[in-house]
Amino acid sequence: MSRRLPIDFRTAVVYQIYPRSFCDSNGDGIGDLPGITARLDHLQALGVNVVWLSPIYASPQDDNGYDISDYRAIAPEFGTLADFDTMLAAMHQRGIRLMMDLVVNHSSDEHPWFQQARSSRDNPFHDHYIWREPRRGADGERQPPTNWEAAFNGSVWEWNEPTGEYYLHMFSRKQPDLNWENPRLRGEVYDIMRFWLDRGVDGFRMDVINMISKPWRDDGSLPDAPVVRPGFLQPGFAQSCNGPRLHEFLAEMRREVLDLYPGCITVGEAPLATVEEGRALTHPDTGALNMLFQFEHMDLDSVGGHVSGKWALKPLNLRDMKRTMQRWQDALDGQGWNSLYLSNHDQPRPVSRFGDDSPEHRVASAKMLGTWLHGFQGTPYVYQGEELGMRNVAFDRVEDYQDIEIRNYWRTAVLERGEDPATVLRSIHAKGRDNARTPMPWQAEAPHAGFTCGTPWLPLNGDWPQVNAQTALHDPDSVFHHYRRLIALRQQHPILAMGQTTLLLPEHTAIYAVLREWQNQHWVIVTNWSSAVHEVPFPSEWTTRPAQLVLGNLSARRGLGDERHRGPTEIKLSDLQLQPWEGLIVSLG
């Protein structure tokens, strides 16, 4: 088995692979493990230290692999355990660690546990899942136990005729929630983790891990969600996160598994986590996890945030982003650790969401967003294609989208509620998860961009002849090479990973600037989030200090971080003007 590689997660940069869309080796149109192995040189050239691999386990693929039917088997479309071992060894040979996706808030309804659990209340596996009796309405009709709406629309409760009960599923009805109150279930999960760690895996990204403890009442019931809109079903996520036994369960996991595998890297996905929860989960002395994914900054461009759902669009107010990011920087400094991200398999492309994806500004704004992200304390995550500046895709027909969330949203909004189809499609174009899942474009002149020689499972973004890895690699001013320089800077200069963060110019609506301080070093990261030129109104005590450009994202200002530029570049803060979507890293004397 492949040997686990030691690493300091705080100075690492993680690259997420969505295997279905990364590279297909056998022409069936679906990315696979041999395809990943064949493209590892791309990751080595980029300089990343860790790969987070989205689920590759056996699955009916109701939610593209996040519905698992066998936690110890590889889905046939992705390959075999032998293919996995080959891939892992190839990663380790390149100094790249691997985090598996641990999906243990729920399983597939086709998992043998659930197949037995749903057969009888007396079955030994029945208590692996969460069951409740129906309520009765005023008319005597059967009703779900609570009014919670699932993440993919509809009730979180599904009727099971053989046992005369409802089972809980916070996501698809084919993803029943596991019952972590059952110690036997927890033991099964720990055995699964040990199976992969013994195989040489370096850690886990833990899917919606703060949902494993539900907020039970003393009588075993669950509370209804507050009524915030017409109708019976109400947003239920806030009712299902951060339950009273969460930290107990994770402490047990750490004791039973994680502490027995030194160097194991852990990150927990934590919807609706507060900064207090973030500290408790990741405190270096008492927390169970290394770092977390929190969502607060990702709700800022939705009306009502998580309450109304991501589909109700509004423009980002940069001042809201500043306040949110700084609150997390302050709260976790020395007391926890955050993941830094703008994209993943569940989020649209950042250059379309937060930047300007027009031909004129796509490259500059993609580089600026990378500069901004890598300029904070925490561990940056790069989602596949982000390093190319990939854009959102806007399919003309909803039928071209494959994602269960998109299809359920369309059915609920258009077919059931009668909303305007054009408005719903605009929301899908902006926020749909398939934006991130279009196949990775590898080559400028090849069938399907070199992703597959067959028919891709999801259509490619139409701009692949211009936006692809081959073109980016040969262009020294590409988004790829800027990300490579950012990653190298972070690994060479601890101030980027470890330094304290102070927000500057908090009320400016276009300029985002922070001061980073570490062991008598002082760096400023300053970025322009607009397509206009802006002067940077630094306070007078700043403008008299000598300043040297470390790295810029435009060719007019390269900096020492660009290997093509060898000599020091002095920069005047007193009359600094940032070009559209410009981002600078500056060292202060």
Give the closest residue to 15 by CA, choosing from 440, 409, 574. Answer: 440
Q: How far apart are CA 225 and CA 362, in angstroms?
A: 41
| pLDDT digit string, tens, across residues 19-66 | 999 999 999 999 999 999 999 999 999 999 999 999 999 999 999 999
Per-residue confidence (pLDDT) for residue 3, from 0 to 100: 58
Q: Determine if residue 385 is left, alpha or beta; phi over 0 gives left, psi from -120 to 50 gives alpha, anything else beta.
A: left
Per-residue confidence (pLDDT) for residue 6, from 0 to 100: 73
Structure-block tokens of residue 382? 């790069």
396-401's contacts with Cβ under 8 Å and 24+ in sequence apart are: 398/425, 398/428, 400/459, 401/428, 401/432, 401/434
Catalytic-residue membership of 563: no
| pLDDT digit string, tens, across residues 137-184 | 888 889 999 999 998 889 999 999 999 999 999 999 999 999 999 999
Per-residue confidence (pLDDT) for residue 306, from 0 to 100: 47
Query: Which residue in 207, 296, 357, 405 is the catalytic one?
Result: 207
Catalytic-residue membership of 83: no
pTM of the predicted model, to two decimals?
Answer: 0.96
Per-residue confidence (pLDDT) for residue 307, from 0 to 100: 42
Q: How far apart are CA 425 and CA 167, in angstroms?
A: 32
Domains and CATH numbers, the chain: 9-106+183-482 (3.20.20.80), 112-168 (3.90.400.10), 499-588 (2.60.40.1180)
Residue indicated by tokens 């990315």: 31
Per-residue confidence (pLDDT) for residue 5, from 0 to 100: 66
445: helix, coil or strand?
coil
Q: How far apart are CA 348 and CA 342, in angstroms?
A: 9
Query: Which residue in 177, 269, 301, 403 is the catalytic one?
Result: 269
Q: How far apart are CA 125 and CA 422, in angstroms?
A: 46
Residues lower than pLDDT 70 in the chain = 1-5, 305-308, 566-567
